[in-house]
């Protein structure tokens, strides 16, 4: 009996500290405790400390605590104007998203539309594209040189399309950017409402409309609410759309106001930025709590089966519903995208005709302008390293979270989700505050380098990988692993031969999401970059601010190409998985 | 290689899952651990496997201690095989690879097996009847085939101990009967000790050499299937294993007079455990009663519910203010007055017991006959159960409803599940096994059918 082993020692070793093989080594109980302590310290340092610093700064006066910044804010006319714009924009775009999303979800869940798979992908496209790419395509589409303007010229010379640079324009782009969130939430809820309930209402004498309002709607409401609140949060968080469309015409929302405060520097820039951030953060946290509650409420239907059968036949209505849906979706995404691409191929902004076509803009951003090329390199490097680090840490953490759930790792998950829950701009500011001087008197020189972007990306996107990992692990019963142990497989072999082959598809799709999000990130990078560490998003933002629309559209078109390549890769991956029969 | 548990207990937080368990398992023995869910049987099994560590006490396998409260040999270092409730097949490996995995991976695999790997794999696959399907993936298999793969994987490296965690509970009723035979033949062929965890008393009674009945983390009774079934020592075992009615009455000198019967009625008490005598109870299995027309004297009761089961009837009888369940081939109608007897005298009881004893389930061939009989009987009877609560006067009636609707089994379950089934025993169990114990003791029931 020389072999002393506590079951789960290697399982309990903490994620942050030991790397993958290290943590699998058999550890003494003292070693395990050190691991746990290191993990707690890392979690507090990376995920909790930034928020604490932010809040502290916002209440710091010249002598001790004070609410000066807040008092000052509340007296500013600009603050109230921003609050009003924020409210109108967030409420308007949420409403638009909910209406579009619920309509789409109902059609997709209950009617006998054809080509549902393709429609589904087309709807997701709006959300997969980074918000600033969608914004650029709409501003190219609707701009004075755009296609709409050209069409209007035909009817009435001098007629101008509606300007995207307005509150309405921001609401519209945000609404179409976020409606897939509502759609995704609602479509599953609708499919899970048992048909029998509707039939029971029918036999009870309720007609089609009465059934919908008395049975279907109340049952779907928690899901719709959860989707709506998610859109509310996303709109609050969004920086790209108001920065591209609002800032040039002096419309600010909270996220762009914080950005302007910090960029504007000045003596108390950080203090005022921090207090604004606390306000924005509090609204976001309240929204998150409400969202969490409504998700929990809609989870009651979780055990129910997803029913894919159509319940309403479109019949003769098919002839207008089908084209309307397809036309609408193509109109809001594909056509503006092509408008943007066509703009990026122009020699000069005003020029017309074939002679004005050129690849010059692409040559400029890729070859002639070293800083753009640098930004592409930075973004690729950052997103790949973020992917690798998140994949390893996130997978291990998800493993403990699923297999050894405890209060400790539940709290850790909560902490890790904070950077993603908070609006990006708020998180970015808190990163600056921490990394300028992590421990009083020590400046590691990370602020202003690519490293701070890397740390920020990992902290913000780690939760995405963890969620993908938790979903993947939850689908693999613990007995699979136990069967391997009984068969004599040690930890290394269990991961290599059993767990990874089964989990890889789920883990990789999470990793791909992290990669794409990091590649096109704008909000956090906009505050944290410095010369030499700019990213693709920042480069596009820079071109746009300097009025170089041709270059910004060209770079955006490149991004779109990259995203499609990534999506294609994911599709191939899924096909591969299906063939191996892992799903069953 | 014997397995010994000494004063093993286990707590999870404040919950005590096992309370000082002492048990030893002989080489090659088939032991069933039987109990309702939450009784600690799975914890016990996982402790033998090495997935859980005892809070106190120790476990020894083949003389060497493998687990104490301070240390525990991990599962991958014990020479055991295990069959899981949900099969636990790896979706990315085919059958051949499943069986090969432990042979290659396990450090304790005997050299002889490792050297003739391919031969061994084929041998094991032949044993479970899957030699033709070696290249199939798990999702291309039926439930029964999946379980065969799981068994093949578990026995491939010739473990000294085979653990089975409710291996039949994810299979449907018909398949379970076939798989029992399969497991018995695996036991015969491999000769390794088997610890089999189940909540289904039918499975335990039909396959095991010895049954350990557990409740609330403690062992209630250990014995051969016959001992457990015919001579329960605690109230729980009587209710859970033999589904016995506990009749109230008074004891004098090994003779029992049930409450409400005329004082000259005596039931023989030699086989009844002291635990019942001290409480003034007498355990009677549903099949033990003999029903006669009310004129026959003894204890009187009224039939309050009738279910025709094909081979016999399930009666609910109200007597002396209590409800009892009786299985009898004799035909009565709803609200008939009947007289209840225990077919007399200790003499007969003791002559019956050895006779049944000789048909030890572990001898494996004999029980097949009653089992098959039960199987056909119960499948034939399920439509008939739709007649619940009607006086089953016309045996022809079931035929009209025999377009066995999917709802039929459900009805069977709910209506059969008798008050005697203790909480925790699955209803599905009482459904497909209700007829079976009577199959084992059939010689005892007299004529008439």
- Give residue A383's pLDDT: 94
CA distance A489 to B77: 9
pLDDT tens digits, A537-575: 999 999 988 888 889 999 999 889 888 887 787 778 777
Nearest to A581 among B53, B66, B139 (CB): B139
Q: Which residues of B touch A27 (CB under 8 A)?
A: none
Say if residue A352's pLDDT is above 90: no
Give the integer Cα–Cα distance in Å for A286 and B194. Answer: 57
What does DSSP assign to residue B434?
A: T
H/E run at residue B250: strand B245-252
> Three-state DSSP class for B343?
coil
The arithmetic mean of pLDDT across residues A481-497, rounded, is 92
- DSSP letter at A282 equals H
Please give the residue of chain A at the shortest CA–CA distance from B151: A483
d(CA A427, CA A50): 8
For residue B240, the model assigns a pLDDT of 92
Question: What mean pLDDT comes out for the span B32-39?
Answer: 92
From A5, A486, A498, residue closest to B80, measured CB to CB: A486
- Is the pLDDT reported for residue B409 higher than 60? no
Residue among A3, A487, A489 whose CB faces B73 most closely: A3
Q: What are phi and psi of B257, to 5 degrees?
A: -115, 115
A431-453 pLDDT, tens digit each: 988 888 777 777 777 887 889 99
- A265: pLDDT strictly greater than 80: no
- Classify B367 as helix, strand or coil: coil
The more confidently predicted of residues A447 and A279 is: A279
Q: Which residues pair with A357 in a beta bridge?
A: A346
Best CA proximity match to A258, nearest among A250, A249, A248, A269: A269
Work out whether strand B161-165 and strand B80-83 pair parallel, antiparallel, or are unpaired: parallel
pLDDT at B394 over 80: no
Spatial distance between the Cα atoms of A479 and A492, rounded to a whole number of angstroms: 17
Q: What's the whole-number mean pLDDT along residues B57-80? A: 90
Q: How far is B62 from chain A (nearest CA, A)?
A: 13
Nearest CA in chain A to B161: A486
Residue A102 — very low, low, confident or very high, per pLDDT cuts 50/70/90? very high
pLDDT band at residue A245 under the 50/70/90 scheme: very high
Q: Looking at residues A254-283, what average pLDDT do you find? A: 86
Burial of A212 (0-12, 13-18, 19+ CB in 10 A): middle
The mean pLDDT of chain B is 78
User: CB–CB of B106/B77 below 8 Å?
Assistant: no
Question: Cβ of A489 and B76 within 8 Å?
Answer: yes
CA dihedral A43, A45, A51, A57 (to 10 degrees): 170
Min Cα separation A7/chain B (Å): 7
pLDDT for the residue A124: 87
Q: What is the ipTM of this complex?
A: 0.71
| Least confident among A22-36, A58-72, B299-313 | A22-36
> How many angstroms separate the CA atoms of A11 and A396, rounded?
9
Mean pLDDT of A305-322: 82
According to the model, what pLDDT value does residue A29 have? 62
Average pLDDT over residues B196-219: 94
pLDDT at B347: 39
pLDDT at residue B431 in the model: 40
pLDDT at B413 over 80: no
Mean pLDDT value of segment A5-26:
37
| pLDDT confidence bin for B171, thresholds 50/70/90 | confident
Read out DSSP for A233-260? HHHHH--HHHHHHTGGGT---HHHHHHH
The residue among A256 and B262 whose pLDDT is bigger is A256
Segment A273-278 shows an average pLDDT of 88
In DSSP notation, A499-554 reads IHHHHHHHHHHHHHHHHHHHHT--HHHHHH--TT---HHHHHHHHHHTT-HHHHHH
* pLDDT > 70 in chain B, percent: 76
Start and end residues for every CATH 1.10.3720.10 domain found in chain A: 67-343, 356-584
For residues B149 and B155, the answer to whether their CB atoms sit within 8 Å is no
Q: Taking a C-beta distance cutoff of 8 angstroms, is the pair B51, B39 a contact?
A: no
Which residue in the set B76, B150, B157 is minimally distant from A485, CB to CB?
B76
What local confidence, expressed as pLDDT, does residue B421 receive?
36
Three-class DSSP labels, B52-63: CCCCEEEEEECC
Return contacts of A124-127, CB within 8 angstroms, 24+ apart: A124/A180, A124/A184, A125/A333, A126/A176, A126/A177, A126/A179, A126/A180, A126/A332, A126/A333, A127/A177, A127/A178, A127/A180, A127/A181
In whole angstroms, give the CA distance from residue B272 to residue B285.
12
Note the pLDDT tens digit of each residue in A163-212: 889 999 999 999 999 999 999 888 888 888 888 888 888 888 888 888 88
Q: Are strands B161-165 and B193-198 parallel, antiparallel or unpaired?
A: parallel
Q: Which residue has the higher pLDDT, A421 or B377?
A: A421
Paired with B244 in beta bridges are none
Q: Which two tokens stand for residue B227?
A: 């001992």
Residues of B in contact with A7 (CB under 8 A): 50-53, 72, 74
* Other CB atoms within 10 A of residue B202 CB: 25
Say what the pLDDT of residue B371 is. Answer: 37
Residue B200, helix vs strand vs coil:
coil
Contact B165, B84 (CB under 8 A): yes
Instruction: Note the helical H segments in B329-446.
Output: 346-358, 368-384, 397-401, 407-416, 427-433, 436-440
Are B63 and B229 within 8 A, CB to CB? no
**What pLDDT does residue B103 have?**
93
CA A567-A569-A575 angle, to 5 degrees, is 105
pLDDT in the model for residue B374: 38
Answer yes or no: do B88 and A477 touch at CB < 8 A. Answer: yes
For residue A304, what pLDDT band results from cuts at 50, 70 and 90? low
Residue A215 DSSP one-character state: I
Show which residues on chain B lie within 8 Å of chain A, measured between beta carbons. 49-53, 64-66, 68, 70-77, 80-82, 84-86, 88-92, 101-102, 105-109, 137-140, 150, 153-154, 157
Long-range contacts of B371-377 (CB under 8 A, 24+ apart): B371/B177, B371/B180, B371/B206, B371/B436, B371/B439, B372/B177, B373/B439, B374/B435, B374/B436, B374/B439, B375/B174, B375/B177, B377/B309, B377/B310, B377/B311, B377/B435
Residues in B touching A3 (Cβ below 8 Å): 71, 73, 77
Residue B216 pLDDT more than 90?
yes
Residue B223, pLDDT score: 94
What residues 480-539 of chain A have any CB closer than 8 A to a CB of chain B?
Answer: 480, 482-490, 493, 497-498, 501-502
Residue B365 has pLDDT above 50, yes or no: no
Q: How confident is the model at residue A579 (pLDDT cuts 50, 70, 90)?
A: low
Architecture per CATH, domain A67-343, reads as Orthogonal Bundle (1.10)
Out of 2.40.110.10, 2.40.50.140, 3.40.50.300, 1.10.240.10, the CATH code matching B245-284+289-341 is 2.40.50.140
Q: What percent of chain A has pLDDT over 90?
A: 33
pTM of the model: 0.77
Given B89, B90, B107, which is nearest A488 (Cβ)?
Answer: B107
Q: Given pLDDT bands bounded at 50, 70 and 90, which one contains residue B97?
A: very high
Q: Are strands B64-67 and B56-61 parallel, antiparallel or unpaired?
A: antiparallel
What pLDDT does residue A310 have? Answer: 83
Greater model confidence, A318 or B397: A318
**Lowest mean pLDDT across A137-141, A230-234, B428-432:** B428-432
Show Cβ contacts of residue B277 under 8 Å, excluding neighbours closer than 6 positions. B251, B269
pLDDT confidence of residue A100: 94
Among B65, B76, B139, beta carbon nearest to A1: B65
> Helix (H, G, I), strand (E, B), or coil: what is residue B227?
helix
Q: Count other Cβ atoms within 10 Å, centred on residue B133.
A: 17
On whether any CB of chain B is under 8 Å from the CB of A581, the answer is yes
> For the ranges A50-54, A252-256, B204-208, which has the lowest average pLDDT?
A50-54
The correct answer on CATH 3.40.50.300 for the domain covering B3-79+160-226 is: yes
What pLDDT shows up at residue A350?
A: 64
The residue-averaged pLDDT of B344-358 equals 40
Per-residue confidence (pLDDT) for residue A73, from 0 to 100? 82
Here the tokens at position A413 are 């998950």
Return the pLDDT at A349: 66
Compare A97 and A62 and report the one with higher pLDDT: A97
pLDDT surpasses 80 at B366:
no
Most A CBs within 10 Å: which of B53, B65, B88, B167, as the mutation test of the A interface? B88
Neighbours of A332 (CB within 10 A): 24
Least confident of A116-120, A206-210, B295-299: B295-299
Average pLDDT over residues A390-400: 94
CATH (one of 3.20.20.70, 3.30.9.60, 1.10.3720.10, 1.10.40.30) for A356-584: 1.10.3720.10
- Closest among B239, B238, B211 to B223, alpha carbons compared: B211
Mean pLDDT confidence for B371-380: 38
Q: What is the pLDDT of residue A27?
A: 44
Residues of A in contact with B154 (CB under 8 A): 486
pLDDT bracket for residue A457 (50, 70, 90): very high
Specify the length of chain B in residues: 449
Torsion angles phi and psi, residue A442, rounded to 5: -130, 115
**pLDDT for B208 beyond 90:** yes
Query: Nearest CA to A89 among A179, A162, A174, A183?
Result: A174
Q: Which residue has the higher pLDDT, A458 or B265?
A: A458
Q: What pLDDT is attached to residue B390?
A: 40
Q: Is B291 in contact with B326 (CB distance < 8 Å)?
A: yes
Kindly provide the b/e burial profile for residues A71-109, where b requires at least 16 CB atoms within 10 angstroms of the residue's own CB.
Answer: eebeeeeebeebbebbebbbebbbebbbebbbbbbbbbb
Per-residue confidence (pLDDT) for residue A367, from 0 to 100: 83
């Amino acid at each position: 009996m020389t072999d002393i082993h506590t079951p789960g020692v290697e399982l309990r070793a903490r994620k942050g500290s030991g790397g993958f093989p290290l943590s699998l080594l058999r550890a003494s109980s003292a070693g395990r405790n050190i691991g746990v302590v290191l993990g707690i310290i890392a979690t507090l340092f990376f995920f909790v400390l930034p928020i604490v610093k932010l809040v502290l700064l916002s209440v710091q006066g010249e002598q001790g605590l004070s609410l000066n910044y807040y008092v000052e804010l509340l007296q500013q006319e600009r603050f109230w104007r921003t609050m009003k714009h924020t409210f109108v924009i967030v409420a308007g775009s949420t409403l638009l998203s909910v209406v579009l999303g619920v309509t789409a979800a109902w059609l997709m869940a209950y009617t006998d539309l054809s080509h549902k798979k393709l429609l589904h992908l087309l709807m997701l496209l709006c959300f997969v594209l980074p918000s600033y790419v969608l914004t650029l395509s709409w501003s190219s589409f609707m701009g004075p040189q755009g296609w709409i303007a050209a069409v209007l010229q035909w009817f009435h010379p001098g007629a101008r399309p509606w300007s995207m640079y307005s509150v309405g324009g921001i609401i519209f782009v945000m609404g179409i950017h976020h409606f897939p969130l509502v759609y995704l939430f609602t479509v599953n809820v609708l499919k899970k409402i048992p048909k029998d309930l509707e039939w029971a209402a029918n036999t009870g004498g309720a007609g089609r409309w009465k059934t919908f309002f008395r049975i279907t709607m109340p049952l779907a409401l928690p899901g719709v609410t959860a989707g709506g609140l998610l859109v509310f949060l996303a709109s609050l968080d969004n920086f790209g759309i108001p920065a591209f469309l609002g800032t040039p015409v002096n419309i600010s929302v909270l996220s762009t106001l914080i950005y302007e405060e910090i960029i504007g520097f000045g003596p108390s820039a950080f203090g005022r930025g921090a207090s604004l951030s606390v306000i924005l953060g509090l609204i976001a946290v309240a929204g998150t709590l409400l969202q969490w509650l409504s998700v929990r409420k809609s989870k009651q239907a979780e055990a129910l089966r997803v029913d894919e059968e159509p319940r309403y036949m479109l019949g003769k209505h098919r002839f207008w519903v089908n084209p309307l849906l397809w036309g609408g979706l193509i109109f809001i995404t594909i056509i503006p995208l092509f408008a943007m691409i066509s703009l990026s191929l122009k020699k000069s902004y005003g020029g017309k005709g074939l002679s004005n076509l050129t690849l010059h803009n692409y040559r400029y951003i890729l070859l002639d302008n070293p800083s753009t090329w640098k930004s592409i390199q930075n973004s690729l490097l950052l997103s790949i390293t973020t992917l690798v680090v998140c994949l390893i840490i996130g997978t291990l953490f998800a493993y403990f979270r699923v297999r050894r759930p405890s209060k400790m790792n539940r709290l850790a998950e909560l902490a890790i989700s904070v950077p993603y829950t908070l609006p990006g701009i708020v998180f970015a500011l808190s990163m600056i505050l921490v990394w300028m001087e992590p421990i009083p008197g020590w400046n590691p020189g990370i602020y202003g380098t690519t490293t701070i972007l890397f740390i920020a990306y990992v902290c913000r996107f780690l939760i995405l990988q963890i969620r993908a990992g938790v979903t993947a692990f939850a689908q693999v019963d613990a007995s699979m692993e136990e069967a391997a142990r009984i068969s004599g497989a040690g930890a290394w072999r269990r991961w290599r031969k059993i767990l990874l082959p089964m989990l890889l598809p789920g883990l990789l799709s999470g990793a791909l999401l992290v990669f794409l999000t990091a590649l096109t990130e704008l909000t956090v990078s906009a505050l944290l970059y410095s010369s030499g560490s700019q990213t693709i998003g920042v480069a596009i933002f820079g071109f746009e601010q300097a009025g170089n629309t041709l270059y910004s559209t060209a770079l955006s078109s490149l991004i779109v190409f990259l995203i499609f390549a990534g999506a294609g890769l994911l599709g191939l991956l899924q096909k591969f998985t299906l063939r191996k029969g892992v799903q069953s | 290689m014997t397995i010994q548990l000494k004063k093993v207990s286990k707590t999870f937080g404040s919950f005590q899952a096992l309370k000082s368990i002492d048990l030893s398992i002989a080489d090659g023995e088939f032991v069933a651990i039987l109990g309702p869910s939450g009784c600690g049987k799975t914890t016990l099994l996982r402790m033998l496997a090495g997935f859980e560590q005892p809070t106190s006490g120790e476990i020894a396998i083949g003389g060497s201690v493998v687990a104490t409260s301070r240390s525990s040999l991990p599962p991958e270092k014990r020479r055991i095989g295990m069959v899981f409730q949900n099969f636990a097949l790896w979706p990315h490996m085919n059958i051949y690879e499943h069986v090969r995995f432990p042979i290659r991976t396990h450090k304790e695999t005997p050299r002889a097996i490792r050297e003739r790997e391919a031969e061994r794999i084929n041998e094991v696959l032949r044993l479970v009847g899957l030699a033709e399907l070696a290249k199939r993936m798990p999702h291309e298999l039926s439930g029964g085939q999946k379980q065969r793969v799981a068994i093949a994987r578990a026995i491939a490296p010739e473990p000294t101990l085979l653990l089975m965690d409710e291996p039949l509970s994810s299979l449907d009723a018909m398949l379970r009967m076939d798989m029992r035979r399969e497991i018995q033949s695996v036991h015969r062929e491999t000769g390794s000790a088997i610890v089999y965890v189940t909540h289904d008393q039918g499975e335990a009674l039909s396959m095991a050499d010895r049954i350990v009945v557990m409740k609330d983390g403690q062992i209630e009774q250990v014995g051969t299937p016959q001992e457990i079934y015919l001579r329960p020592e605690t109230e729980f075992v009587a209710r859970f294993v033999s589904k016995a009615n506990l009749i109230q009455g008074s004891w004098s000198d090994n003779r029992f007079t049930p409450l409400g019967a005329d004082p000259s009625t005596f039931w023989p008490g030699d086989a009844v455990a002291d635990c019942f005598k001290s409480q003034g109870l007498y355990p009677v299995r549903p099949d033990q009663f003999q029903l006669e027309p009310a004129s026959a004297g003894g204890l009187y009761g009224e039939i309050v519910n009738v279910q025709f089961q094909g081979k016999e009837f399930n009666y609910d009888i109200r007597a002396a203010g209590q409800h009892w369940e009786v299985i009898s081939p004799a035909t009565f109608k709803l609200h008939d007055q009947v007289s209840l007897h225990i077919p007399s005298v200790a003499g007969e009881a003791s002559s019956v017991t050895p006779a049944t004893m000789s048909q030890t389930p572990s001898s494996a061939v004999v029980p097949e006959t009653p089992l098959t009989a039960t199987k056909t009987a119960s499948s034939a009877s399920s439509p008939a159960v739709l007649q619940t609560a009607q006086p089953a006067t016309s045996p022809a009636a079931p035929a009209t409803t025999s377009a066995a609707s999917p709802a039929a089994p459900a009805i069977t379950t709910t209506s059969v599940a008798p008050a005697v089934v203790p909480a925790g025993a699955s209803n599905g169990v009482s459904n497909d096994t209700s007829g079976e114990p009577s199959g084992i003791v059939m010689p005892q029931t007299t004529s008439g059918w």
